[in-house]
Amino acid sequence: MNTDHSGDAVDAILAQWRQERPDLDVSPMGPIGRVKRCSALLQRRLDATFSTFGLTGWEFDVLATLRRSGAPYSLAPTTLLAALMVTSGTMTHRLKGLEGRGLVQRFANRDDARSLMVQLTDAGLALINRAVEAHVENERRILASIEPADLALLDVHLSRLLIALESGQG
């Protein structure tokens, strides 16, 4: 695996800290800084693809969550909340917007008359099917400069970090 990453923006930050605080081990700033910077830069590229379909990132996430749930592409709002990690107020607002655009519909839950279900409409299903294809191709282009073996190793390490963070260990 190629470990040469000299010259990126984080290296400059680390060099400044090492000069100003040689007594402080700033090595944790490297991976964290790179993950944060990658996240911001990745989001810009992902959003550019979503916008070609008239979607924002969160709209794509809602529609994709419904789509990957399988036919009939419907979930309870609480399930969407858990999958998307947003508050109920935020989810309600988002669903109203998607419903107003004819991409989702809400209907009474047959198993619990006190709650609603959220379902993709035919228009929402057609849109997310096109958008997810473009999204995957965009991700493929973004990752193309990384060798497959290195990419697989990166995925393993990021998964370990995510598991630790989600469990509260990190």
pLDDT digits (tens, 9 = 90+) for 42-76: 999 999 999 999 999 999 999 999 999 999 999 98
Q: Supply the pLDDT for residue 3.
A: 53
pLDDT at 1 (0 to 100): 47
User: What is the model's pTM?
Assistant: 0.84
Among 29, 97, 30, CA closest to 58 = 97
The per-residue pLDDT for range 120-152, each reduced to its tens digit, is 999 999 999 999 999 999 999 999 999 999 999
The pLDDT, as a whole number, for residue 68 is 96
Both tokens assigned to 15: 């060099």
**Mean pLDDT computed over every residue of the chain:** 91
In whole angstroms, what is the distance from residue 90 CA to residue 116 CA? Answer: 16
Instruction: Grade residue 99 by pLDDT with cuts at 50, 70 and 90.
Output: very high
Q: How confident is the model at residue 81 (pLDDT cuts 50, 70, 90)?
A: confident
The model's pLDDT over 25-35, given as tens digits with 9 standing for 90+, comes to 999 999 999 99
* CA distance linking residue 65 with residue 52, whole number of Å: 19
Q: Between these two residues, 2 and 109, which has the higher pLDDT value? A: 109
The string of DSSP codes covering the chain is -----TTSHHHHHHHHHHHH-TTS--TTHHHHHHHHHHHHHHHHHHHHHHHTTT--HHHHHHHHHHHHT-TT-EE-HHHHHHHHT--HHHHHHHHHHHHHTTSEEEEEETTEEEEEEEEE-HHHHHHHHHHHHHHHHHHHHHHTTS-HHHHHHHHHHHHHHHHHHHTT--
When pLDDT is averaged across residues 84-94 and rounded to a whole number, the result is 79
